[in-house]
Structure 1
Amino acid sequence: MRRYGLAAVGAVAAGALVLGTGGTAWAGEADLEVHGSAVLDGGLMEVRLSPRDHGPDALAGASVRLRWSAALADAQQLPAGCARTGDREVVCGTGPLAVDEPGEQLVVPVRLRERPSEVTLSVDVAWSGGVVDHDRTNDTQRVLVLATGDPYVF
């Protein structure tokens, strides 16, 4: 059985908890979205992600989940803040997100187990520190990436 560092997933993201009126704990409201691009060349795929928070509250951090339709190679060199959570899945922390400012771009290179001619990539907000997101329509992106070496934007 493979182990993908599930304990590290909890460390990938951090959220801000604030006190509302009457001492009630809440994490605020935010509208999170992630856009980016993906390039597939042979068995290598590079994903560039740009997280954004449309507010009304800023976030100390969130997590995005990347899922591939093809299995990842066993050995990966993921960037800091990312953890492998399955055979085809990686979770990455966004870092702090100010309202209506682009977050720090994440660059996630992965090696696929095979050399497919195409891969479907799904990117979704996996954790947002308990904030309420009233617009969940922009939380998930999905793109078909052909092994052409060209960037496919989502």
Structure 2
Amino acid sequence: MSRTRRLQIQAVKQGDPLAAPLLDELAVEYSTRYERPLQEQVESLTTYPGEEFAPPDGALLVVTEDGRPVAGGAFRRYDESTAELKRIWTSSEHRRRGLGRIVLAELEAEAVLRGYTRIYLTTGWRQPEAVGLYLSAGYTALFDPTRPAEEIGPHPFEKHLIRKVESA
């Protein structure tokens, strides 16, 4: 017997219980990959001003499956025309299912609705999966990909957004 799973995208605030798994797992991921103290990563993610990821200039989206958070991400204002993506996450139990692409598409659509025409983001040098996701989703690398990742440090990307015109 097969069971249909239902994905929903919800806008939440940083302190919302649906955002907790996103922030908790990101802290563990960053701590492990970059060999930094876990508590330092937790504080970095949870004490960041949540209003930066709230309307009118930002958003924090969580993808739930059958009511459980499985992926998410956020953006904040970088400059007048640019949104900066942050906290892109897919639960380790749900990776390789296209959820990262869903998060990117939803964040991009929301950014367009808020009037942004460009997205900027950085990802870490020890996150090759993220680099692959952004390149495959049409983001332009703002670094020399022929250089060793550790030499580059944070890997910046951009993408210009196109506002879709609805036909009558």
Mark yes or no: TM-score above 0.5. Answer: no
Higher helix share: 2
TM-score, length-scaled by structure 2: 0.32
Q: Which has the higher contact order (CA 8 A, sep 6+)?
A: 1
Higher strand share: 1
